């Protein structure tokens, strides 16, 4: 396993590095430790909330159970709107995981004073504040819609690259690269910009002005999670139905 990781390290994707980072060394591979720490924190919140909601489930939900059931219904409706009544159920866990992880990650950056926690180098921030996290989520989405297309249409999935004419083949291939790029940079750029604006305002006007900006940041953070999950569902539906497929069933 280490030899495989070392092989990846021999092909650096970029020589430019912005800021200081807290690294974990795994063989010759450097891992951004601060991203893993905050990601595990977000995952822990989701796991604890899920266990608390289902440990003693009641017929009339209340408290954390009511909150988690509302979140589940919201995610089901989101998946159903994008994928249709017949296709949405198997994709609820994937789309729901994307939405909840991004949502909690974004809000953790707005509500938790990560910068008060000192590290040997670098500083903690929301997981989605790091381009590595957003690219990983976008690549998972790409794998999901490729899998959806192959599982539903088989080799007929490749027809989309030459429809309506083979002349469009380069554009169709380019589209598959731009989808994860647009997803990752949109999420990363919005979260980073929001945290930078709040940081600057806290430095200049440390008491009253940052509060409405932070409230707006919570709203936009939720919207970014919704946009990412919605586009993921739309891409999966497009892969299953193709350019000439029937529209998903309205309800």
- Percent of the chain whose pLDDT exceeds 70: 81
Q: How confident is the model at residue 137 (pLDDT cuts 50, 70, 90)?
A: very high
Residue 31 has pLDDT above 80, yes or no: no
Cβ-contact 78, 95 below 8 angstroms: yes
Tokens representing 76? 């089901």
Give pLDDT, residue 61: 79
Give pLDDT, residue 119: 74
Which residue has better confidence, 171 or 209?
171
Which residue has better confidence, 223 or 9?
223
Q: Is 187 exposed, middle or buried (0-12, 13-18, 19+ CB in 10 A)?
A: buried
Task: Give the N- to C-terminal CA distance of the chain in Å, as an integer.
Answer: 48
Give pLDDT, residue 16: 40
pTM of the model: 0.80
Which residue has better confidence, 5 or 191?
191
Give pLDDT, residue 245: 44
Which residue has better confidence, 165 or 41?
41
Give pLDDT, residue 1: 43
Q: How confident is the model at residue 232 (pLDDT cuts 50, 70, 90)?
A: very high
Q: How confident is the model at residue 208 (pLDDT cuts 50, 70, 90)?
A: low
**pLDDT digits 0-9 by tens, 47-105:** 999 999 888 878 887 888 899 999 999 999 999 999 988 889 999 999 999 999 999 99
Q: For the chain, what is the mean pLDDT? A: 79
Q: How confident is the model at residue 206 (pLDDT cuts 50, 70, 90)?
A: low
Average pLDDT over residues 216-239: 88
Give pLDDT, residue 80: 93
Q: What radius of gyration, in Å, describes the C-alpha atoms of the chain?
A: 21
Secondary structure, 3-state, the chain: CHHHHHHHHCCCCCCCCCCCCCEEEECCEEEEHHHHHHHHHHHHHHHHHHHHHHCCCCCCCCCHHHHHHHHHHHHHHHHHHHHCCCCCHHHHHHHHHHHHHHHHHHHHHHHCCHHHCECCCCECCCHHHCHHHHHHHHHHHHHHHHHHHHHHHHHHHHHHHCCCCHHHHHHHHHHHHHHHHHHHHHHHHHHHHHHHHHHHHHHHCCCCCHHHHHHHHHHHHHHHHHHHHHHHHHHHHHHHHCCCCCCCCCC
């Amino acid at each position: 396993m280490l030899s495989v990781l070392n092989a990846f390290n021999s092909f650096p994707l970029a020589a430019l590095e912005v800021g200081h980072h807290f690294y974990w060394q795994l063989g010759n591979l450097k891992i951004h430790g601060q991203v893993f720490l905050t990601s595990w924190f977000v995952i822990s919140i989701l796991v604890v909330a899920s266990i608390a909601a289902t440990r003693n489930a009641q017929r009339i939900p209340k408290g954390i159970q009511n909150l988690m059931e509302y979140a589940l219904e919201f995610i089901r409706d989101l998946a159903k709107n994008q994928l249709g009544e017949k296709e949405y159920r198997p994709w609820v866990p994937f789309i729901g995981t994307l939405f909840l992880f991004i949502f909690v990650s974004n809000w953790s950056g707005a509500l938790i004073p990560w910068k008060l926690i000192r590290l040997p180098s670098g500083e903690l921030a929301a997981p989605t504040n790091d381009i590595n996290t957003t690219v990983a989520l976008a690549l998972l989405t790409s794998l999901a819609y490729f899998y959806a297309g192959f599982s539903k249409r088989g080799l007929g999935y490749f027809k989309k690259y030459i429809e309506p004419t083979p002349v469009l083949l380069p554009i169709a291939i380019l589209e598959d690269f731009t989808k994860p790029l647009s997803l990752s940079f949109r999420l990363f750029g919005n979260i980073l910009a929001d945290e930078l604006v709040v940081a600057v305002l806290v430095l200049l006007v440390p008491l009253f002005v940052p509060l409405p900006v932070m409230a707006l940041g919570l709203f936009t953070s939720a919207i970014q999670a919704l946009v990412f999950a919605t586009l993921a569902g739309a891409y999966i539906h497009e892969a299953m139905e193709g350019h000439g497929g029937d529209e998903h069933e309205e309800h």
